[in-house]
Chain A
């Protein structure tokens, strides 16, 4: 199985900050990576697919990059609604595997 490792596990930031979350795959997955945002009590919502393509309706403050084994999610100009937990997931092979999540909290 492909292991997905996110860092950091938690992150404190202020409104207006720019933050970056990293996701590493245990083996190459090309660009078959998706980023999700999850708020408490809600289902995850896709933000970025194919490592760098913005999901329809998602603001351009979210951006993704990477290929192979190393990927990043960047969120610019943080707003209160962006404080949530973020997950990466590979869809190169089954079983589909997720990172452990990064909880983004307000400083």
Chain B
């Protein structure tokens, strides 16, 4: 069974940093591209970042470019999102999402809440 378990969310002040983690199980993590998607409270879904299976290709949404860094460790079956210079508008549930073989988002984690507030 595919499982994606996020952690690392919490309350942080504006301008602060946070590192999210996602541990994958139930599939060969090193064979799949991964993404982070977020959802602000009561709002819709927003794609944040993509990383290919070998980390050779990385994309970011304009809203986080230069502030967030995606990475992965295929030995530890883990995906990360380093978030710096956090703003109130980054407040959201952050989901770890797998890109299936057909390149659509086929499995999602349960999400971790990040709250940016003073």
Contact A46 B106 (CB under 8 A): yes
Most chain B CB within 10 A, of A95, A96, A97, is at A96
Residues on A with C-beta less than 8 A from B62 are: 95
Contact B44 A94 (CB under 8 A): no
A62 within 8 A of B: no
A101 to chain B, nearest CB (A): 5
Separation of A9 and B46 alpha carbons in the complex (Å): 17
Which residues of B are in contact with A by a Cβ distance under 8 Å?
35, 44-47, 50, 59, 61-62, 95, 100, 102-106, 108-111
A28 within 8 A of B: no
Most chain A CB within 10 A, of B50, B61, B105, is at B105
Separation of A34 and B78 alpha carbons in the complex (Å): 25
Contact A46 B105 (CB under 8 A): yes
Residues on A with C-beta less than 8 A from B47 are: 94-98
A49 within 8 A of B: yes
Separation of A87 and B46 alpha carbons in the complex (Å): 11
Given the known inter-chain contacts A45-B108, A95-B59, please indicate yes or no for A50 contacting B102, CB distance below 8 A: yes
Interface size on A, residues (CB 8 A): 23
Residues on B with C-beta less than 8 A from A43 are: 95, 108-111
A-B contact pairs, 6 of them (CB 8 A): A42-B110, A87-B45, A89-B105, A94-B47, A96-B105, A97-B47
Most chain A CB within 10 A, of B45, B46, B106, B108, is at B45
Contact B104 A49 (CB under 8 A): yes
Residues on B with C-beta less than 8 A from A55 are: 106
Contact B59 A94 (CB under 8 A): yes
Nearest-neighbor residue (CB-CB) of A50 within chain B: B102
Contact B104 A34 (CB under 8 A): yes
Contact B105 A91 (CB under 8 A): yes
Contact B44 A87 (CB under 8 A): yes
Separation of A48 and B78 alpha carbons in the complex (Å): 27
Interface string of A18-38 (1 = CB under 8 A from B): 000000000000001010101
